[in-house]
């Protein structure tokens, strides 16, 4: 590659800013979540994915795909959540498509309890700092990138 197209100052500011924001913002929100609710971000992601569905269940493989985790990594994580009573696991031997994760009443309670503090944390460290226009632009940027990557925003 003879002529690398290095980032100009404007582009570098955006890229470096995104990278530093991602690192520090996500760490702050994860710390708040742990402190307020005793949940890790991964716990919260699993619980909120499950609670968003009327069936309160996801196939392990599909949820792993969504989180970009390997099936074995999510399986180990789910085992630890199972020990804490937050989810249960059902084997669906009948159709050969493997394990299903199911939200328990205790897991639902945990996310319902955690959500108000979590939304305050997200507001305090991101949302309430931005103008309406900045919020819309952040949404637009995400949509553009996700579309490019062949993914939906949700």
Q: How far is residue 50 from each of residues 66, 95, 96, 104, measured CA to CA in Å? A: 12, 21, 21, 10
Among 26, 90, 92, 106, binds a second copy (CB under 8 A): 26
Token duo for residue 67: 């989180």
70-78, 83-91, 101-109, 139-147 -> range binding a second copy (CB under 8 A): 139-147
65 counts as binding a second copy under rule CB under 8 A: no
Among 14, 73, 79, 97, binds a second copy (CB under 8 A): 14
105 counts as binding a second copy under rule CB under 8 A: no
Contact 98, 60 (CB under 8 A): yes
Contact 18, 96 (CB under 8 A): no
134 counts as binding a second copy under rule CB under 8 A: yes
Q: Given the complex with a second copy, which of 3 and 91 has the nearer CB atom?
A: 3
Contact 59, 100 (CB under 8 A): yes
**How far is the C-alpha of 104 from the C-alpha of 122, rounded, in Å?**
26
Give strand ranges (E) for 9-153. 57-59, 87-91, 99-103
The distance between the two most distant Cα atoms of the chain, rounded to a whole number of Å, is 60
Q: Given the complex with a second copy, which of 79 and 144 has the nearer CB atom?
A: 144
35 counts as binding a second copy under rule CB under 8 A: no
52 counts as binding a second copy under rule CB under 8 A: no
5-13, 79-87, 90-98, 99-107 -> range binding a second copy (CB under 8 A): 5-13
Q: Exposed e or buried b for every residue in 115-129, given b needs 16+ CB within 10 A?
A: eeebeebeeebeeee
Query: Rule CB under 8 A: which residues touch a second copy?
Result: 1, 4-7, 10-11, 13-18, 20-28, 67-68, 115-117, 119-120, 122-123, 125-127, 129-130, 132-146, 148-149, 151, 153-154
């Amino acid at each position: 590659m003879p002529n690398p197209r290095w980032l100009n100052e404007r582009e570098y500011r955006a890229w470096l800013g995104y990278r530093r924001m991602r690192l520090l913002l996500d760490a702050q929100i994860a710390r708040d979540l742990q402190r307020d609710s005793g949940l890790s971000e991964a716990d919260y992601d699993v619980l909120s994915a499950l609670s968003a569905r009327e069936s309160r269940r996801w196939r392990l493989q599909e949820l792993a795909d969504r989180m970009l985790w390997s099936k074995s990594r999510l399986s180990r994580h789910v085992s630890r959540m199972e020990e804490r009573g937050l989810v249960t696991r059902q084997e669906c031997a009948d159709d050969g498509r493997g394990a299903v994760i199911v939200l328990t009443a205790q897991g639902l309670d945990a996310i319902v309890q955690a959500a108000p503090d979590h939304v305050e944390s997200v507001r305090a460290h991101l949302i309430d700092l931005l103008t309406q226009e900045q919020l819309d632009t952040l949404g637009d940027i995400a949509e553009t990138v996700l579309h490019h990557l062949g993914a939906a925003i949700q």
